[in-house]
Amino acid sequence: MPRDIPVGNGSILVTFDSFYRMRDVYSPRVGRHNHTEGHVQRFGVWADGTLSWVEDNEWHRELRYKPDTMTTDVRLVHKGLGLELTCHDLVDYHKPVYFKQVHVRDLKGQSRDVRLFFHFDLSINGFPVGDTANYDPTTRAVVLYKDDSYFLINACDQTKCGIEHWAIGAKRVGGAEGTWRDAEDGQLGRNAISQGSVDATVGVHVQVPANGEASTTLWMVCAEDYASAKSVNQRVWEIGPERLIGRTEAYWRLWSRKEPFETNVLPEPVRDLFFRSQLILRTQIDNGGAIIAANDSDITHFAGDHYSYCWMRDGALVAHGLILAGQSELSRNFFRYAADCIGENPYFLHKYNPEGDLASSWHPWVLDGKPVLPIQQDETALTLWALRQHFETFRDVEFIKPLYGKLILRPAEWMLEHRDHNGLPLQSWDLWEERRGIHTFTVAATIGALYAAAQFAEDFGELDRSAAFREGAERMKGALRRHMYHEERGHFARMAVPLEDGTYRLDLTRDSANFALFAFGVYDANEPEVVSEMDSMRDRLWVKTDVGGCARYERDYYHQVEGERTDDVPGNPWVICTLWQAQYQIQRAKTLDDLKHAMFLLEWTTKRTLLSGVLAEQFHPYSGDPISVAPLTWSHATFVTTCIQYLQKRDQIIEAQKNVDAPPSAI
């Protein structure tokens, strides 16, 4: 189930599902630990003797954000109860506090006693053993804790602060369902403490005038010890939740609009998603630099693992979007994190935890009894390539200096060594992590990285190294054309498999990843080979249903929809693959009219979002429903990148036209 409205600040991430139930709580890093294990945290409303949880069918739900903020704007209406709720969720931009502000409006024309119940089913540090929940009379708060993770829950309304109604008990042991059951009669038992596999429910009573409104604000402090939790709670009381919420909203408006992009030329839905995507991206990026692929714990039920890791390929391409958007501190943090991850190796391994430790992997170290490198070489190459994009944008020489050896020289020298007799990279795993060979995507990324290394080496006065890197890139480019382009088919292979006689067996499956031919500076998008590649690829990989969009590759099996017709549906449509086609159209455009093809694909993307603006990884080819994780960080970053490339190309076309139209004396 997608995570419709994530909120966070780079150290805390809180996600909600489509029923507006809290599902994930990550702290103190984005991606680790998930203190809920994906279990439902319930939110219920009691009035006139009836309790209704927000997942009940009687609720009408609209899950959005306030414009240009990371504050949710959720509307809940229950006609039977005669109530309308407006809820705002956010994480303070600076302090480790999650807020939920609830406004309750009467729709019956009579004064109401309304009781709000918030259920916390935590599995602290990722497992529900040895947790404690207790009521603290000194802070009038419910506290759940284990080891170095503390969660203090408190609330204020218009007349008082502190928790007055709570239940603490066991869950999922001995037949216990959890304390949320205690709320169904509108009363909570006020048990003082419980340990083991525990949960807690807190209640807040609000008196709503006829046709009027009443409000309350609940908060959860996330801290590493009890003293810190109490200190932050005291600051919330002193400053006031309203003021903290207001300053956080102001911060995110400033953050999202800091660059002077002329976005008024974009259609409103595209413009809105451009800014929303940047904010959603920020929720998935840890303050320590890790760019997490996705934090949707439901994927564990499908794959037995999650996406809460940093893949350097995803990270590098997301960093490229951040660079274009002017978010230099985030890109710097990523490259520092990457330098820590690579360590003494000249290459990256599969993926990494938010702390920078090696994460789970399915790439073997031995194949057919022989040792192999369990790597995707494009991850190393793209990190170097993206670092050059960062430097060319920000020219921060002092920042580059300590990274020159780790992220530039040693990886580039290794890439020169890690080549076969024709100058192509040795075999590694592809960007989809499914097959091992020599991939067009990897070759193109490596060429882009070697060109980047040559430029860096020249900047640093090492002309011999610069020449070696450039010669390696040129030789690899020639080998790519000679050995991986199929003349009769008129397109590149997606993969070459080395044979014993020194030749290659080509896999000619059409694959969207071949957009790399122009994306990383190997070829110009207008060269005949690229035009043939991209135009025929779109014809073959476009999903020929009412949903549309581009598949990853022919006969894609990942999350394959049962019974889909491969002629019309080569695979599920992916956001990144569709937008790669838009980037191709942008690079080729010579007139404003040419840009219409790219805008069509940007608008296609806006139609695929959830109401909140969240983009999934892929979609059902017939219904358009999101499939796999949502939000996918890469999807939002690719949308941001494509929008900025569109705006830049539009400006270039207009400027070029001015020069053509200007009289000679004015030029």
In DSSP terms, which residues pair with 15 in a beta bridge?
A: 24
In a domain, residue 521? The reply is no
Give the domain-ending residue among 462, 492, 510. 510
Over residues 201-246, the pLDDT tens digits come to: 999 999 999 999 999 999 999 999 999 999 999 999 999 999 999 9
Q: What is the mean pLDDT of residues 172-196?
A: 92
What is each CA distance from 412 to 144, 248, 523, 543, 602, in whole angstroms? 49, 42, 20, 38, 35
Phi, psi (rounded to 5 degrees) for 273: -70, -30
In a domain, residue 71? The reply is yes
Structure tokens at 53: 């949880």
Residue 193 has pLDDT above 50, yes or no: yes
Residue 254 has pLDDT above 50, yes or no: yes
Identify the sign of the CA torsion 366, 367, 368, 370. Answer: negative
Same domain, 341 and 388: yes
Same domain, 75 and 202: yes
Judge contact between 91 and 98, C-beta under 8 A: yes
CATH number for position 426: 1.50.10.10
In a domain, residue 330? The reply is yes
What confidence score (pLDDT) does residue 75 get?
98
Same domain, 504 and 580: no
Same domain, 56 and 106: yes
What confidence score (pLDDT) does residue 506 get?
98
Residue 660 has pLDDT above 90, yes or no: no
What confidence score (pLDDT) does residue 667 get?
44
Residue 618 has pLDDT above 80, yes or no: yes
DSSP code, position 646 = H
Number of domains in the chain: 3
Give the domain-ending residue among 234, 256, 278. 256
Over residues 443-488, the pLDDT tens digits come to: 999 999 999 999 999 999 999 999 999 999 999 999 999 999 999 9
Q: What is the mean pLDDT of residues 358-371?
A: 94
Q: How many percent of the chain have pLDDT more than 90?
A: 92
Q: What is the mean pLDDT of residues 323-338?
A: 98
In a domain, residue 494? The reply is yes
Task: State which residues form the domain around 628.
Answer: 262-287+542-658
Q: What is the mean pLDDT of residues 137-145?
A: 97
Same domain, 315 and 271: no
What confidence score (pLDDT) does residue 1 get?
61
Phi, psi (rounded to 5 degrees) for 572: -75, 145
Residue 110 has pLDDT above 80, yes or no: yes
What is each CA distance from 350 to 136, 374, 509, in whole angstroms? 45, 7, 24
What confidence score (pLDDT) does residue 176 get?
85
SS (H, E, C) 309-347: CECHHHHHHHHHHHHHCCCHHHHHHHHHHHHHHHCCCCC
Interhelix angle for 328-342 vs 312-324, to 10°?
160
In a domain, residue 530? The reply is no
Same domain, 566 and 489: no
Residue 662 has pLDDT above 90, yes or no: no
Least confident of 218-232, 524-538, 599-613, 647-661: 647-661
In a domain, residue 62? The reply is yes
Task: Quickly tell me which residue has 């979002």 as its tokens.
Answer: 609
Same domain, 468 and 562: no
Q: Categorize the per-residue pLDDT at 302 as very low, low, confident or very high, splitting at 50, 70 and 90.
A: low
Give the domain-ending residue among 468, 493, 510. 510
Same domain, 252 and 268: no
Same domain, 276 and 240: no
Q: What is the CA radius of gyration of the chain?
A: 27
What confidence score (pLDDT) does residue 298 get?
76
Phi, psi (rounded to 5 degrees) for 148: -105, 30
Q: What is the mean pLDDT of the chain?
A: 95
Same domain, 631 and 611: yes
Q: What is the mean pLDDT of residues 98-107?
A: 98
Same domain, 279 and 251: no
As to burial, measured by CB atoms within 10 angstroms (0-12 exposed, 13-18 middle, 19+ buried), residue 662 is exposed
What is each CA distance from 270 to 41, 600, 603, 612, in whole angstroms? 33, 10, 6, 13
Same domain, 417 and 552: no
Q: What is the pTM of this model?
A: 0.96
Q: How far apart are alpha carbons 446 and 480 in whole angstroms? A: 11
In a domain, residue 516? The reply is no
Q: How far apart are alpha carbons 570 and 510 in whole angstroms? A: 10
In a domain, residue 528? The reply is no
Q: Which of 566 and 645 is assigned the larger pLDDT?
A: 645
Q: Which of 589 and 159 is assigned the larger pLDDT?
A: 589
What confidence score (pLDDT) does residue 49 get?
94
What confidence score (pLDDT) does residue 665 get?
58
Q: How far apart are alpha carbons 514 and 529 in whole angstroms? A: 11
Over residues 509-561, the pLDDT tens digits come to: 999 999 999 999 999 999 999 999 999 999 999 999 999 999 999 999 998 88
Q: Which residues are CB-contacts of 622 (< 8 A; sequence separation ≥ 6)?
A: 545, 546, 547, 561, 564
Over residues 478-506, the pLDDT tens digits come to: 999 999 999 999 999 999 999 999 999 99
What confidence score (pLDDT) does residue 278 get?
97
CATH number for position 232: 2.70.98.10
